[in-house]
Amino acid sequence: MGEHSYVTAVGADGRYFEDQHGTPLLVFGDSPWAGPVRWSPPQAEHYFANREAHGFNASIVSLIGSRANGGPGDDGRTHDGILPFVGGDVTRWNEPYWQRVDELVRAACAHGNTLFLYPIDGWTVSTVFRGAAPEDAHRFGVMVAERYARFPNIVWMTGGDHFPHDVTGRHDSPPEHDARFEQVLRGIRSTGDTRLFSIQLGYPASVSTDSPMWEPHVDFNFVYTYLPTYRAVLDGHARDRRPALLMEANYEGENNLPGTPVTDDEVLRRQMGWALTSGSPGYFYGSDDWELPPGWETRLDTPAVGQLGRMREFFAALPWWELAPVEPGEVIVAGRGEPVGSDAEVGVMADDHVTAARTGDTLVAYVPTARTLTVDPATLAQPPTARWVDAADATAPPVEARLDPPGAVTTPGRNAADGEDWLLVLRLRS
């Protein structure tokens, strides 16, 4: 375990995460929600070994299954029929189920993977936990925290497509859901467990602190959006000194915003590029295999996974934890396009805004489509240094960016995936 890093704390400036050694940790996650009930121990080992090889260091998983979160049934059973509880009582644990979960957590730990773990979620709250009294939910939280106290690779989560009554707009979730979530969290905290916690609210876009009742409890903002990702990340980043982590956007092979195309490699690159240049301390990928249907093992190594992994490597080589969003008109004075408004429901491919962030004397911009940008020459170090990084192959040698005297710079054509999105890197005056 010593060679691996896990998400354990929020960094000193409140914008990023640190590992157990106090080192900034760029989160790169996947979303195998149904893993605990769909995997055998060898399959869990295969999954985490594969993800480690691709650079992933985090996963979203639900501790208990239901049909809505990818499980085979609403009683929490595994794919081979092992139930989590005896007689449906959430305080009477069926040991074989929990031994299997132990193996999964151990496999994740061995491969440097932090589990963003939902003991209770927005789907099990109305199925497995439907009859749980407040004291039972509290006791369940105590039991979970005590059993997994020895593992360093857990971040606590709750919610999921959750629409509490104190958020304007939709109010689909009854108050008793929040009450059960809170009791589980209070049970965890009553053991002295201080591991990070957050809640996932609802679609098409939300940030955890949208909910006044949950704002005091969350250590970071779960950013959730099916829209151009920079908008929700920037909104979360502007609120306070909490990490605004993009944890769910459109999944590969899916799209949950009506009237928009199925998510392909370019959509995924946009989501990640926009997020990392808007203040997110990482990015979570997801695919249509989140329910882990038969054959999921053969679909782990998609071209998109390779592209996103190389983009992670590019950002990881920077002092990324210092990246701060750059306002429109600052440094890049023309060509960025208009950002979408907070209330606009448009698809990822219907927007082409350029996002940018700065760390020290380096600016990184994500440019989603072909265009000419204008850079303020007075902001550049001398002699001017600029380069284009291929968003589809971000570890390949960069392309020199030619700046004319007024500061105009044009994208260099098609990238390695035949797209037009690039990362522009500028050296600025200190």
* pLDDT, the chain, mean: 96
Q: Is the dihedral of CA 106, 51, 49, 288 positive or negative?
A: positive
Over range 44-58, report the average pLDDT. Answer: 98
pTM of structure: 0.97
CATH of domain 9-322: 3.20.20.80
Question: Which pLDDT score is estimated for 169?
Answer: 82
**Residue 298: which of 28, 46, 17 has the closest Cα?**
46
For residue range 250-290, list pLDDT tens digits in order. 999 999 898 899 999 999 999 999 999 999 999 999 999 99
Name the percent of the chain lying above pLDDT 70: 100
Q: Is the dihedral of CA 300, 286, 348, 314 positive or negative?
A: negative
Per-residue pLDDT for 414 more than 90? Answer: yes
Question: Which pLDDT score is estimated for 172?
Answer: 87
Per-residue pLDDT for 1 more than 50? Answer: no
CA–chain centroid gap for 378, Å, is: 36
Domain ranges of the chain: 9-322, 324-427
- pLDDT band (50, 70, 90) for residue 342: confident
Question: Which pLDDT score is estimated for 384?
Answer: 86
Per-residue pLDDT for 137 more than 60? Answer: yes
CATH number of 324-427: 3.30.300, 2.60.40, 2.60.120, 2.30.29? 2.60.40
Name the percent of the chain lying above pLDDT 90: 95
DSSP 206-267: EEGGGSTTTTTT-SSEEEEESS-HHHHHHHHHHHSSS-EEEEE-PPBT---STTSPPP-HHH
- pLDDT band (50, 70, 90) for residue 322: very high
Q: Do 299 and 287 touch, CB atoms closer than 8 A?
A: yes
Per-residue pLDDT for 374 more than 60? Answer: yes
For residue range 155-207, list pLDDT tens digits in order. 999 999 999 999 988 788 999 999 999 999 999 999 999 999 999 999 999 99
